[in-house]
A and B are shown apart, each in its own frame.
Chain A
Amino acid sequence: MADSRRPRTSWAPFALPGVGWLVAFFVLSVYAVVAVALGSTDPLLRTARPAWNPADWDTTALTKVISRVVGGDLGHVVTRTFGFVALALVGCVLIGYPVAYYAARGAHRGRKILLIALVLPFWISYLMRMMAWTNLLQPDGYVNKVLEVLHLQSEPRNWLDGDWYTVVIGLVYGYVPFFILPLYSVLERLDGRLLEAGRDLGATARQTFWHVTVPLSRPGLMAASVITILPMFGDYYTNTYLTSGSPRTEMIGNQIEFYLRGSSQPQTGASLVLVLMVMLFALMAYYLVTTAREQRMAR
């Protein structure tokens, strides 16, 4: 009965552009990747010959990639990628949370300026920013000069010689704005009365932060983490620029790039994409389940 009293306006057509976009640029794209992974190679040009008909699918390349990832020569590339992303995420939390917190709850007059400053990096291409870092990190670059002025090192070092921490620093630098903004939007909407209640009940500022603010900001932390780590997993240019292609810092994105752009085996590259997608889907599933559970509890 209640439904019969609602206006009869149908909202479904308004969803069509979004659905169309999703079908065109996600569903079909993913199917194209599947078709390439399970397809063949043009015998003349060695370019991908996708198998659009599932009856023509050939799992040889995919099976081989899985065996190389699970205990094979690509296993440590996957492990390394997860390690880099995990460390970069820790860096993003350590740097991003205080900034987002200050922007949301501490800064008053300077809030707009701070927000503009947070958005500024998006005005410059990610690649340009990484190229700028290659200059800053040169042996005679400003990073070394500053460290020497501060007496934190006596001799200039080459940050670009293939060390893992240079890549992690680069990832943190590149993606921390993506982390801060969604977290800020959650922190900014925190109900101040809950924080006051915590203090009124005798909690110290630190206890209030740990037992009230942090739990309430968990949805923001989760969203920021997902938004940050998804592109990090596919990143292949940060380490390429910052370590000049050191195999010690190779990530799974580099292998995908090699097989899709630099080899005659596009099926292998597409298969790697599928393997990575499955791994990320597991992470996404955890995020979705956790979020849904928290929403149920909030009701």
Chain B
Amino acid sequence: MTTSRRDFLRHSAQLGAALGVAPAILAACGGDDETSTTAGPIADGLEPEAGPLRIVNYADYINPDVIVDFETKYGVKVEVSSITTDTESVTKLASGALKVDLNHSMSTTSVGNLIAGGLLQPLNKSYIPNLANVVPAYADPWYDKGGVYTVPYTYFGTGIGYRADRIDPAQVEEWGWDTLWNATDFKGQVSVLDDEREALVMAMLRRGLTDVNTTDKAVIDTALADLLELLDLVNVKVNIEGYKDIPEGTTTVAHTWSADMITGAAGYMPEGTDPSVLGFWHPPAGKYLVSNDSMGVMANAEHPVLAHLWINHITDNAVAEKNFSWVGYLPVITKLDADYVIGAGLVPENLRNCVPTADEIAQGLFLRPLDPDGIALYEQAWSTFRAG
């Protein structure tokens, strides 16, 4: 995975904030239905267009071989436009600067507002029989009730990645989030995610708070004070490099995404170092922050049939596995559960808990869009923390 993908994750909360007010604004502008769009789903049984299929996505977030397979199967070209952040994607799509058929990796914090903004069209699921392969927990996601407009692409959770050869996994299990504060033997080798929502919410979860979308200034200030303690205690670093820093050993304990550990095990282990040295801890179901990316067909798509067929292609069990082996982020496919991906050698046994379970998803905590004042509180606190 590339930095671009991680930049997206870093900025997704911001976009959520940006679009959090969309329904109200659209209503103020004359919209009378928050979830209405200008067009209905395409008709059944249409022939695929001649192409090309145009996709917007993050760099290196689709296996090139999977693209070639689709091109061969349907005799069309696939053109992928790369963007760096969710904000960039939405800004370009909304302004018309970028015109594509398929938005491949929307964050959960932006999907609802893209729907409200009329940028997505309802899916005709007759073209996507492979929807049956998708994890059932995502059939009715909170950001798109009934899964009318979107199909989930990848999923992951937020926890602590660590080097199990340096710190006892049992100790991490006992300490939980306190591991970051207690890792005083590893000064300069501890990091938190460079994402204001993720980091401040982590500090809240440490205190047992589970309202991860709070805009209570007192709560945010307390979380900030807790994060500031990390400066003296462990000389904390702020980045999204856990996927390589932990395998390479420059970081011992990191607040990170579960997918980063899978990616690190697959592609960033130094020669002679076994992936078994990696460990991941996450809070129990009900306190576990779970995220996912989603695909949707643009309302103004010129090749909507191809876009539907692509979604069907990428949710095929074999294609999803092939894609995962290259991308490193786990597809939301039932077959690719922990037992399967471990058995197939795609994920080491010691990282089994990097694959969210159905129960963890069902009880998951989700970062939802905030109003501008709320996100401003997080940003100011984050700026203060970053200032050291």
Contacts and interface: CB of A to CB of B under 8 A. Distances in A.
B6 interface: no
B161 to A, nearest CB: 14
Given A44-B25, A244-B250, A264 B14 contact: yes
A254 B382 CA distance: 12
A76 B94 CA distance: 40
A212 interface: no
Given A43-B25, A45-B94, A160 B250 contact: yes
Interface in A246-270: 246-250, 254-255, 258-259, 261-265
Contacts of B239: 244-245
Q: Is the interface of B mostly helix, strand, loop or mixed?
A: helix
A41 interface: yes
B18 A246 contact: no
Interface residues of B, number: 43
* Residue from B11, B87, B237, B375 with most neighbouring chain A CB atoms (10 Å): B237
A56 interface: no
B237 A244 contact: yes
B235 A248 contact: yes
B250 A44 contact: no
B386 interface: yes
Given A243-B237, A246-B237, A247-B236, A44 B387 contact: no
Contacts of B248: 138
A248 B235 CA distance: 8
Contacts of A80: 388
B11 A76 contact: no
Given A245-B239, A263-B379, 20 more contacts: A44-B19, A45-B87, A46-B14, A73-B383, A74-B383, A161-B187, A162-B188, A163-B188, A245-B191, A245-B194, A246-B238, A247-B387, A247-B388, A249-B388, A250-B387, A255-B386, A258-B383, A258-B386, A262-B11, A264-B14
28 contacts: A44-B19, A73-B384, A73-B387, A76-B387, A77-B388, A138-B248, A139-B250, A158-B250, A160-B188, A160-B250, A161-B235, A162-B235, A244-B191, A244-B239, A244-B245, A244-B251, A245-B194, A245-B238, A247-B238, A247-B385, A247-B386, A247-B388, A250-B388, A255-B383, A262-B10, A262-B11, A265-B376, A265-B379
Interface of B: 10-11, 14, 17-19, 21-22, 25, 85, 87, 90-91, 94, 117, 187-189, 191, 194, 231, 235-239, 241, 245, 248-251, 372, 375-376, 379, 382-388
